[in-house]
Amino acid sequence: MHRRAFIKSAVLAGAALSLPTGFAPFVRRLEAAGPPDLVVVQGASAAGITRAAVDGLGGIRRFVSRGAVVVVKPNIGWDRTPEYAANTNPEVVATVVRLCYEAGAKTVKVFDHPVADARRTYKQSGIADAAAAAGASVRFVDERKFKDMQLNGLALKSWPLYTEAIEADTIINLPIAKTHGISGLTLGMKNWMGVMGGWRGRIHQRIDESLVDVTRVVKPTLIILDAVRILTGNGPQG
Instruction: Give the model confidence (pLDDT) of 179-233 as tens digits.
Output: 988 888 888 999 999 999 999 999 988 999 999 999 999 999 999 999 999 999 8
Spatial distance between the Cα atoms of 71 and 85, rounded to a whole number of angstroms: 22
Helix (H) or strand (E) holding 213: helix 207-214
Number of domains the chain contains: 1
**Does residue 6 have a pLDDT over 50?**
no
> DSSP letters of 77-139?
-SS--GGG-SS--HHHHHHHHHHHHHTT-SEEEE----SS-HHHHHHHTSHHHHHHHTT-EE-
pTM for this model (two decimals): 0.86
In a domain, 21, yes or no: no
Q: Which CATH number characterizes residue 217's domain?
A: 3.40.50
pLDDT at 20: 52
Instruction: Give the model confidence (pLDDT) of 46-85 as tens digits.
Output: 999 999 999 999 999 999 999 999 999 999 999 999 999 9
In a domain, 3, yes or no: no
| Mean pLDDT of all residues belonging to the chain | 89
In a domain, 125, yes or no: yes
In a domain, 24, yes or no: no
CA dihedral (208, 210, 212, 218) positive or negative: negative
**Residues 140-156, mean pLDDT to the nearest whole number:** 96
In a domain, 151, yes or no: yes
Work out the angle between the directed axes of helices 90-102 and 46-56 (0-180°, nearest 10): 50
Query: Between 229 and 32, whose confidence is greater?
Result: 229
**Does residue 147 have a pLDDT over 50?**
yes
> pLDDT tier at 1 (50, 70, 90 boundaries)?
very low
**Does residue 19 have a pLDDT over 50?**
no
In a domain, 65, yes or no: yes
Query: Between 21 and 173, whose confidence is greater?
Result: 173
Range of the domain at 71: 60-231
**Does residue 145 have a pLDDT over 90?**
yes
**Does residue 30 have a pLDDT over 80?**
no
pLDDT at 183: 86
**Residues 125-139, mean pLDDT to the nearest whole number:** 98
In a domain, 28, yes or no: no
